């Protein structure tokens, strides 16, 4: 719905000695999160017309023109214009109407998110030498919101997700500040990493991958962003008895059953992971990062040795997290006689070692059972710590062998 269909243009005339004669037409209204009303202002006068995107603060008698695209003398002329009383009333009514419309839409969308009707998108933010897992609204929802010009200056994504978080926690009798305290964390980075990676397929609706097959985002229900195992351990005060109890509040046996099934699913994955960890041993031989400075890291790497303690069979791999490409594993040995170290694997029908050359991506051979076991292990238990704010200040160095460079940058 366009703003022209909702609000008529606001027209006022000024004959201030400083601004001379101006006929102003205000149109194309929108609202900002701080309550400012924005509009396109067109000023017509015998000395020439001007147009700018202006702002109006509630109860103010002046409009705020932008400082970036107006000449200084024009800005000074516009900023001293005093709005007539009837114009202020018109702007006040439009601002109140838009504010009610935005708040109603926020509450409706937040309710859909908390109830699971509207999924959210979990995505990996690649900061170069660290990775974070953040949440946003799906792109189709954002496009639908901003298809109307009246919402173009309003940040729905931030306010809706904040409101959804508050509603989610309050509905379960938990404190809104819960996520700000490490002691009461109901989610953690490792859980979100596994959720995005696909370790809990029953909780993920849709996954988007980059050209290298690395998952970069997935759609999930908002509730599934919170680790059900940790959520079950959180203490809260029961509103009826006043006693301290553990776990979220449920409104029906069905809610409790759904929560318990999700907690069981996560628990089973954690148990399988622990059993898998016992089958192989990983030793870090060297580590570092490529980049001109700690603030401009292009790649984080670790050279590791993977060993089967029962057979003593072992192989070495270069594990790399490349900016904008994700986690890559290269063998630290020749995968075919006469070739240098390196290569990369692809899934296809069978896992294959490949090599980039002038002829393109060339398949060399299939992975051996032990190679596939090692690669699968390293993909599941990434040896590179990508937690935010890891200290790389004294560890900026080139990788030991440039022949490992099997990814086009």
pLDDT tens column, 316-340? 999 988 876 777 889 999 988 888 8
381 in Cβ contact with 318 (< 8 Å): no
**Positions in the chain short of pLDDT 50:** 1-5, 180-184, 389-409
Distance CA 24, CA 105 (A): 31
Compute CA distances 377 → 5, 32, 280, 344, 393, whole Å.
Answer: 59, 49, 8, 16, 29
Number of Cα atoms under 13 Å in the Cβ half of residue 117: 8
What is the token pair recorded at 393?
Answer: 């200040």
pLDDT of 395: 45
What is the token pair recorded at 230?
Answer: 């940790």
Domain positions in the chain are 3-98, 105-276, 281-404
pLDDT of 120: 93
Q: Output Rg (C-alpha) for the chain, integer angstroms.
A: 29
Distance CA 323, CA 129 (A): 8
Distance CA 184, CA 407 (A): 41
pLDDT of 129: 54
pLDDT of 295: 59
Computed from CA positions of residues 250, 256, 259, 264, in that sequence, does the dihedral angle turn out positive or negative?
positive
201 in Cβ contact with 219 (< 8 Å): no
pLDDT of 175: 67
Reading across the β-sheet that carries 204-209, which strands appear in turn? 131-136, 120-126, 215-220, 204-209
Compute CA distances 2 → 29, 35, 286, whole Å.
Answer: 10, 20, 59
Dihedral Cα 74, 80, 82, 87, nearest 10 deg: 40
pLDDT of 305: 95
Helix (H, G, I), strand (E, B) or coil at 128: coil
């Amino acid at each position: 719905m366009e703003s022209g269909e909702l609000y008529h243009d606001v027209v006022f005339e000024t004959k201030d000695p400083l601004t001379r004669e101006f006929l102003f037409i205000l149109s194309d209204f929108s609202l900002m999160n701080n309550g400012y009303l924005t509009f396109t202002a067109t000023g017509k006068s015998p000395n020439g017309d001007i147009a700018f995107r202006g702002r109006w603060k509630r109860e103010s008698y002046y409009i705020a023109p932008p400082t970036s695209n107006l000449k200084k003398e024009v800005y000074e002329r516009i900023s001293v214009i005093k709005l007539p009383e009837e114009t202020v009333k018109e702007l006040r009514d439009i601002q109140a109407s838009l504010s009610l419309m935005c708040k109603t839409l926020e509450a409706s969308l937040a309710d859909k998110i908390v109830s699971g009707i509207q999924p959210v998108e979990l995505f990996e933010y690649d900061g170069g030498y660290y990775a974070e897992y953040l949440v946003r609204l799906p792109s189709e929802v954002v496009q639908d919101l901003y298809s109307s010009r009246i919402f173009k200056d309003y940040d729905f994504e931030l306010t809706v997700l904040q409101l959804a978080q508050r509603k989610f926690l309050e509905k379960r009798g938990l404190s809104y500040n819960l996520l700000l305290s490490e002691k009461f964390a109901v989610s953690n980075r490792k859980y979100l990493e596994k959720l995005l990676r696909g370790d809990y397929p029953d909780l993920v609706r849709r996954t988007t991958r980059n050209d290298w097959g690395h998952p970069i985002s997935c759609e999930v229900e908002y509730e599934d962003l919170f680790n059900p195992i940790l959520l079950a351990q959180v203490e809260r005060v029961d509103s009826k008895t006043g006693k301290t109890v553990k776990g979220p509040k449920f409104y029906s046996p069905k809610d409790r059953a759904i929560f318990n099934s999700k907690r069981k699913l996560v628990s089973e994955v954690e148990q399988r992971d622990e059993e898998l960890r016992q089958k192989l041993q990983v030793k870090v031989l060297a580590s570092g990062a490529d980049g001109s400075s700690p603030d401009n890291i292009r790649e984080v790497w670790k050279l590791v040795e993977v060993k089967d303690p029962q057979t003593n069979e072992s192989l070495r791999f270069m594990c790399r997290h490349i900016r904008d490409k994700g986690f890559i594993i290269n063998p630290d040995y020749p995968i075919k006689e006469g070739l240098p170290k390196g290569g990369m694997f692809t899934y296809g029908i069978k896992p294959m070692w490949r090599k980039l050359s002038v002829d393109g991506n060339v398949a060399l051979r299939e992975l051996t059972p032990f190679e596939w076991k090692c690669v699968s292990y390293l993909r599941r238990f990434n040896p590179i710590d990508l937690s935010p704010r890891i200290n790389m200040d004294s560890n900026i160095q080139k990788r030991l062998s440039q022949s490992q460079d099997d990814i086009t940058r």
